[in-house]
Structure formats: structure tokens, C-alpha cells
């Protein structure tokens, strides 16, 4: 049985003659331990999909099954990392944020154990020395790592990442991608990763869902063995394939032509 | 401290140079003597005033919290209260006293009503602003962790809007304090019941000028203590960590 199964999921905010805002009739499955990348142009419904799975949006129709059970409300079994850097509670220290998350999810946990686990997850993302700091004292990259530490600390079945490294520069991005792969190797958490960066998607994902205008166009297995090198001809082929799909999606074909 | 000393100096020199009678401007020593003599009486009346304010402020806080939550949940109410607030906010609390007397008669109920009325608008304004300023992501992290309803409000929304809530309490307290002293002063004329305002009225009535000044000093002292000791401490304990919430 797949860990998560999405069946004919439809969520439409508004529609006009030209098209609609949201997602329509989306179906796919994610197996335990997989990293599934979701890629598509801005506005094609990637965030909407994640928010539906996380339970923040109620769908118009269709089903979302986690372990065969229908989900409708948010819960810590599907932990989402949102876009934006304001996700830590500013009145708690970094360690406090992790402990609060774990305590909320598991009310019976004893404090010693929570302290120990907080240290463990901070160590995992390289923030051991920053546990006493408050969010305003952390840089953007450190906050991103803190989000991952907190998300992993509540031990979710599924991690939902919405363009998690979008705000970082190229170097920071690369470092975070490597970190995410290390964490994934260590915890084996199932991940759905939304991105608009083809390289990021190929480097990280086992499977890639390509969205165009609110519909799932392709469900591609990533044929490349890890670690994936962009110099590899097979990499370039795969990149070209995704890139062509996305280009076809462009309304303004001439704009691309001019750019080229 | 230097400021207090300078003011004392000014007071005394004004008295000596101007040659005012003790009846109009008593000397500091006389006022201090009166403070000492009337200690018990002053304390009793201060306690009475503070008790009324404490009760009134508590009612106003609960009321403002409920209204703010209602505003958050309904567009129509939100518009309504924005308008009502625009009208009510500049109205000095004491101006509602005639209405309070009509509704509640002369007595404690009217004073409490004036206190609640003075405090509730600035409180509502601050609470509502505070709730609206909470980053959506933080609320959703709370929901993602499984919190909802009262728990979400208590563990996430309240601390997230704490700077605004403290600001509201500060303004609400100042408004309530002014209004209650004023209301008590008026009731002094109407039979009296206690409180510092009433004490002032009584002393003035009996031409005990030092007592009037002693009462005013106590009013100033309580205002200063609450403002610079209680609220400043609360803010240092929280805003120190929370300064980033406002950005
Ligand atoms: N809460 C909402 N209300 C109305 N329209 C929305 C809402 N959220 C998203 N949309 C619209 O739905 C479409 C898909 O949005 P989104 O899922 O955020 O796209 P993506 O994450 O792929 O950039 C966009 O056209 C967006 O404007
Ligand atoms: Mg998005």
C-alpha cells in the first residue's frame, strides 16, 4: 500500500473563460521513503496541492488517503514547511521551539527526553550552538535548517516542503539540498518537495510530478542514480525533457523566443 | 529622582516668592505631615480605587478579547467595530458618566461602568491590531501541530500578539485610572462612597488643602509605579525577546 494516495483531487478557487485557479483531477501515489518532487510554473497549483494534503484547504472533490485513511484536517503526521522565514515562534528560543512542537504532539513526553531530542535534532542540522538563540538572531539559512529540525523532531509520516530553499543564494541552496539528502538518508522520511527549480528537483527527487495550469501532466520516474551530476549526459537529457514540458506550458511562447 | 527634587524646589520657591497662603499652596513639610497622618485613610481609599479599577479593567479585558475574536471571525462585525471605535475612541471615558448615572444610578456600578467604558475601546483596538498582525505561517504551524480553538489561541495567538496586548493594557489602565478618579470626584458631591477621587473631594470640601495635595501625590505615585514599574518590567521580560514580532 502506498503511504499516500491522492485520488481525483480538485480544489478550484475561481475560474474564468481562460482557465481556473487551483488544481483539477489530480491523482498520484507516494510510497514510503520516497522523495517526490512537484515542479511547475508559478501559479500552477503546487502550493494548493500541498495545502490540501496538509489539511489546510478542504478539497472540492476527490480523496487524500494516508495509510488508507482519509485525511481532512491538519495534523503532525503530515508536517509542512511553508514559504517564508517567519515560521518559528519568536517568543521561544530555537530549542524552545523544538520542545514546544514535540510536547504539543506528544503530551506525555518527559522534559529530560524532550531536551535530549531537541539537542539531537539541532545537532543533525548543525545548529547545536544556537539552541539558546531567539529566531530574530538567526540568519535565513539557519532558520531554514531550524524548520527542518523542528519538522523532523515531531517525527511525521510525510514531510511537505514548499519551495523550502527559494530565498537562499546558489551556495546556500546547494548546502541545504545536501543537508536535506543527508537527513533523508538518516531518517528515511517520505518527502513531497515543491520547487520551480529543475536542477533541485532532479538532484533530490526519486519521482517528479510535472504540473501545468492546475493539472498533473507527467509523473516521471527519475532514472538517474544518486548522486546526480549535472555533467552526466543522461542528466542533461532528463533536464531537457522537463524543461520542454514546462516551456510548452508558457502562454507567452514568443517571450521565450525573444529571451533565447 | 533629580526631577522630583527639582519640582520640590520649584514648589517651595514659588510658595515663598509668590507669598501664597498655606490654604492655596501648602509647604512640602505640611503635605508630608498630612501624608503621614492620613496614611491609613489614604491607603484605604487607594485600595478602594484600585479594587474598582482592577474589577473594571478585568471586565473590560474580557469584553475586549471577546469582541476582538468576534471581529477576527466576521467581516461585517469588523467594519462595524472599526466605525464604532472611531467614534468612541476620542470620547473621554468620564463623558459617559451622565449616561451611567441614568442607567445605574449614583454609586459603585456607575463608576465601574465608566471604567469599563474608558478602557474597553483602546483595549479592543490594540487586541484586534495584535491578532491581525500575527503571521499566518505561525498560526498554521500551530494547527499543523494539532492545535485548534482555545488551545491555538492560548499557545500561539496570545503570545504572538503579546506586545500589542501589553500596549493595550497600558493604555487601558491609564484611561481607567483617569476616569475612575474623575468619577469618584463627581460622586463626592453626591454622597460619596470612597476612593481617592472621593477623598480629594472631601478634603477640598473641608478646606484641608494639605490633604488635597497628599491625595494628589498618592494618585501620581500609583500612576508612576504602575507605568514605570509594573508595565516596564512586564515589557522588559517579554518585549526584550519579542522586539522582532513587530518587524
Ligand atoms: N486562497 C486563495 N484564494 C484564491 N485564489 C488562490 C488562493 N490560493 C491560491 N490561489 C490561486 O490559485 C492558483 C494556484 O496558486 P498556488 O497553488 O499558490 O500556485 P504555486 O504554488 O504553484 O505558485 C493561483 O492562480 C493563485 O492565485
Ligand atoms: Mg507556491
Asked if residue B54 is part of any domain, the answer here is yes
pLDDT recorded at residue B246: 47
| B44-77 residue pLDDT tens | 788 888 888 889 999 999 999 888 888 887 888 8
Residue carrying C-alpha cell 485600595: B47
Q: The domain spanning residue B129 has which CATH number?
A: 1.10.3720.10
The most distant pair of C-alpha atoms in chain A lies apart, rounded to whole Å, by: 62
3-class SS at A87? coil
In a domain, B9, yes or no: no
Instruction: Answer yes or no: do A134 and B244 touch at CB < 8 A.
Output: yes
Q: Is the pLDDT of residue A225 over 90?
A: yes
Indicate the DSSP class of residue B19. T
Q: In this predicted model, what pLDDT tens digit does every residue of A98-154 receive, in sequence order? A: 999 999 999 998 999 999 999 999 999 999 999 999 999 999 999 999 999 999 999
Nearest to A90 among B143, B147, B242 (CB): B242
pLDDT tens by residue, B164-216: 888 899 888 888 888 888 887 777 555 556 777 777 777 777 777 777 777 78
* Partner-chain contact A76 B145, CB within 8 Å: yes
Domains in chain A (CATH in brackets) are 1-77+158-249 (3.40.50.300), 85-155 (no CATH)
Closest CA to B124 of B175, B89, B149, B79: B89
CA dist A255 → A60, A120, A252 (Å): 35, 49, 5
What is the total residue count of chain A? 260
Q: B123-164: per-residue pLDDT in tens?
A: 999 999 999 899 999 999 999 999 998 899 899 999 999 888
Number of domains forming the structure of chain B: 1
Assess: ipTM above 0.85.
yes
Distance from the alpha carbon of residue A22 to the mean position of ligand 1, in angstroms: 6
- Whether B39 maps to a domain, the answer reads yes
Separation of alpha carbons A98 and B158, rounded Å: 19
Cβ–Cβ gap A91/B141 under 8 Å: no
Is residue A45 within 6 Å of ligand 1 at its C-beta?
A: yes
pLDDT of residue B39: 77
* Within a domain: B11: no
Residue B162 Cα to chain centre, angstroms: 18
Q: Is residue B205 part of a domain?
A: yes
pLDDT at position A178 is 94
The verdict on residue B136 lying in a domain is: yes
In a domain, B158, yes or no: yes
A152: which residues sit within 8 A by CB, 6+ positions away?
A121, A124, A159, A183, A187, A189
Write the pLDDT tens digit of every residue in A56-77: 999 999 999 999 999 989 999 9
**Does the pLDDT of residue B109 top 80, yes or no?**
yes
> Taking 80 as the threshold, does the pLDDT of residue A253 lie above it?
no
Taking the centre of ligand 1 as the mean of its atom positions, its distance from the CA of residue A49, in whole angstroms, is 10
More confident site: A237 or B42: A237
Q: Please tell me the pTM assigned to this model.
A: 0.83
In-domain check, residue B154: yes
pLDDT at res. B247: 40
In terms of residue numbers, what domain contains B158? 28-246
Least confident of A171-175, A211-215, B214-218: B214-218
Distances B131 to A37, B84, B161 between C-alpha atoms, Å: 35, 18, 6
Taking residues A11-29, report their average pLDDT: 91
Amino acid at each position: 500500500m502506498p503511504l499516500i494516495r491522492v485520488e481525483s483531487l480538485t480544489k478550484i478557487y475561481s475560474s474564468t473563460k481562460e482557465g481556473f485557479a487551483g488544481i483539477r483531477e489530480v491523482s498520484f501515489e507516494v510510497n514510503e521513503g520516497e522523495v517526490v518532487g512537484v515542479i511547475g510554473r508559478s501559479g500552477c497549483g503546487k502550493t494548493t496541492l500541498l495545502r490540501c494534503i496538509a489539511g489546510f484547504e478542504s478539497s472540492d472533490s476527490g480523496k487524500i488517503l494516508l495509510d488508507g485513511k482519509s485525511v481532512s484536517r491538519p495534523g503532525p503526521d503530515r508536517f509542512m514547511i511553508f514559504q517564508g522565514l517567519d515560521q518559528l515562534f519568536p517568543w521561544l528560543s530555537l530549542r524552545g521551539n523544538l520542545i514546544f512542537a514535540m510536547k504539543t504532539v506528544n503530551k506525555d513526553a518527559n522534559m529530560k527526553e524532550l531536551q535530549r531530542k531537541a539537542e539531537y535534532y539541532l545537532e543533525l542540522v548543525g545548529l547545536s550552538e544556537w539552541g539558546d538563540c531567539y529566531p530574530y538572531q538567526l540568519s535565513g539559512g539557519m532558520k531554514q535548517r531550524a524548520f527542518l529540525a523542528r519538522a523532523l523532531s515531531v517525527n511525521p509520516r510525510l514531510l511537505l516542503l514548499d519551495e523550502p530553499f527559494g530565498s537562499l543564494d546558489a551556495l546556500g541552496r546547494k548546502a541545504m539540498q545536501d543537508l536535506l539528502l543527508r537527513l533523508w538518508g538518516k531518517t528515511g522520511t517520505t518527502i513531497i518537495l515543491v520547487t520551480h527549480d529543475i536542477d533541485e528537483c532532479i538532484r533530490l527527487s526519486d519521482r517528479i510530478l510535472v504540473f501545468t495550469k492546475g493539472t498533473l501532466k507527467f509523473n516521471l520516474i527519475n532514472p538517474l542514480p544518486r548522486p546526480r551530476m549535472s555533467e552526466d549526459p543522461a542528466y542533461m537529457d532528463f533536464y531537457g525533457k522537463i524543461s520542454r514540458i514546462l516551456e510548452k506550458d508558457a502562454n507567452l511562447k514568443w517571450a521565450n523566443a525573444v529571451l533565447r | 529622582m533629580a526631577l522630583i527634587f527639582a519640582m520640590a524646589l520649584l514648589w517651595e520657591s514659588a510658595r515663598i516668592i509668590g507669598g501664597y497662603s498655606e490654604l492655596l499652596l501648602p509647604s512640602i513639610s505640611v503635605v508630608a505631615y498630612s501624608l503621614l497622618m492620613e496614611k491609613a485613610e489614604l491607603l484605604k481609599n487607594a485600595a478602594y480605587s484600585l479594587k474598582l479599577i482592577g474589577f473594571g479593567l478585568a471586565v473590560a479585558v474580557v469584553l475586549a478579547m471577546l469582541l476582538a475574536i468576534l471581529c477576527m471571525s466576521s467581516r461585517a462585525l469588523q467594519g462595524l467595530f472599526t466605525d464604532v471605535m472611531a467614534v468612541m475612541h476620542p470620547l473621554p471615558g468620564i463623558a459617559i458618566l451622565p449616561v451611567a448615572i441614568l442607567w445605574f444610578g449614583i454609586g459603585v456600578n456607575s463608576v465601574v461602568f465608566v471604567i469599563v467604558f474608558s478602557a474597553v475601546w483602546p483595549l479592543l483596538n490594540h487586541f484586534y491590531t495584535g491578532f491581525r498582525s500575527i503571521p499566518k505561517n505561525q498560526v498554521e504551524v500551530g494547527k499543523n501541530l494539532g492545535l485548534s480553538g482555545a488551545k491555538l489561541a492560548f499557545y500561539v495567538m496570545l503570545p504572538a500578539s503579546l506586545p500589542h496586548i501589553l500596549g493595550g493594557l497600558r493604555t487601558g489602565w491609564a484611561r481607567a485610572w483617569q476616569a475612575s478618579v474623575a468619577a469618584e470626584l463627581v460622586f463626592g458631591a453626591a454622597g460619596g462612597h470612597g476612593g481617592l477621587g472621593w477623598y480629594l473631594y472631601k478634603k477640598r470640601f473641608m478646606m484641608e488643602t494639605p490633604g488635597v495635595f497628599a491625595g494628589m501625590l498618592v494618585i501620581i505615585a500609583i500612576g508612576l509605579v504602575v507605568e514605570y514599574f509594573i508595565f516596564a518590567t512586564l515589557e522588559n521580560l517579554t518585549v526584550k525577546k519579542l522586539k522582532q514580532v513587530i518587524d
